[in-house]
Each structure stands twice: as C-alpha cells, then as structure tokens.
Amino acid sequence: MLTVDMADLPTLVGRDLGYSDWVVVDQDRINGFADATGDHQWIHIDVPRATAALGGTIAHGFLTLSLLAAFSYQTLEVRDAGKGVNYGFNKIRFLAPVPAGSRLRSRQTLDSVEEKGGGWVLTRTVTIEIEGQEKPALLAEWLTAVYP
C-alpha cells in the first residue's frame, strides 16, 4: 500500500498504485448481496438452475463494483485525510462474468488529481481481475474525493 499526505497527491498522477489483495466471491457473499439489494435473479442465487444453464451462478455486476471501496483501502492511504467519499464514475464496463467461487483483485492507477472544495478529487482507472482469466471482470474510471 502507498501512504501519502494530501499535499503529495498531485505528484502521483500517472502512477500505478498497485494491486489489492485477492477476495473470494463465494455463494454466501452473492446471496448476501442479493438480500441487501433485492436482486434475486436466478443467475445469481438459483444454484441448480444456473449450473444447468450457465455452469454455475455468477456474481452481480454491482457486487463486483462494490468491492472497489475495500480494494482502495489496500492500495492508497492518504494520512491526513479526514474523510474520503465516492464522487462518481466517468465510465464503468462489466467485461466478464464472475463465477461463484472466483478470486478477484484490483489494480489501480491514478490518472488525475484536481483541487476542489477544499479537498482533492482523484480520478483512477481501476481494473478488477479474475484469478486465472485473461479478461478482467470490470474496468472503471472512478472518482473519489478526499478532504482534511
């Protein structure tokens, strides 16, 4: 993990922030996400039906996306930030399904840092990889803001 002060953020533009740890997306996590969001589509939670049709269940795309928060804590720490918030996305692409039981990790690069509202808006390119697969699960341009 890279640890910096807010004043140093602009010097990191263009830098590869590295990889997060691997996270297992198992059926229990998928079922919990389905319950939390109300998205109980059979491709996510009906193991026998999904196995017959697809070879197994797949994680929700938004479950994959939601892992960005945990992944970001593992790649960049801003020491003197009092808070950090999601600011939005310029782009999100779900490129490959995530089969239940897969291991995922992120790789992040810092594309830009813009001073705004007494803090900084960070734009990152984030790729979520599936262990053992060449094609990533997700590619996003993610904006976060940090404030003192």
| Burial annotation 1-37 (CB, 10 A radius, 16+ → b, else e) | eeeeebeebeebeeeebeebeebebeeebbbebbeee
Domain covering 2-25+58-147: architecture: Roll (3.10)
**H helix runs in the chain, sequence order:** 27-37, 42-45, 47-54, 61-66, 68-73
Residue 110 sits at the vertex; the CA angle it makes with 108 and 112, to the nearest 5 degrees, is: 150
Reported pTM:
0.93
For residue range 13-46, what is the model confidence (pLDDT) as tens digits? 999 999 999 999 999 999 999 999 999 999 999 9
Tens-digit pLDDT profile for residues 83-111: 999 999 999 999 999 999 999 999 999 99
Domain ranges, ordered by start, for the chain: 2-25+58-147
Helix H, strand E, coil C: the string for 103-143 is EEEEEEEEEEEEEECCEEEEEEEEEEEECCCCCCCEEEEEE
Q: What is the mean pLDDT of residues 60-84?
A: 96
Average pLDDT taken over every residue of the chain:
97
Span 108-118, average pLDDT: 96
pLDDT at 50 (0 to 100):
99
**Interatomic CA distance for residues 114 and 91, integer angstroms:** 18
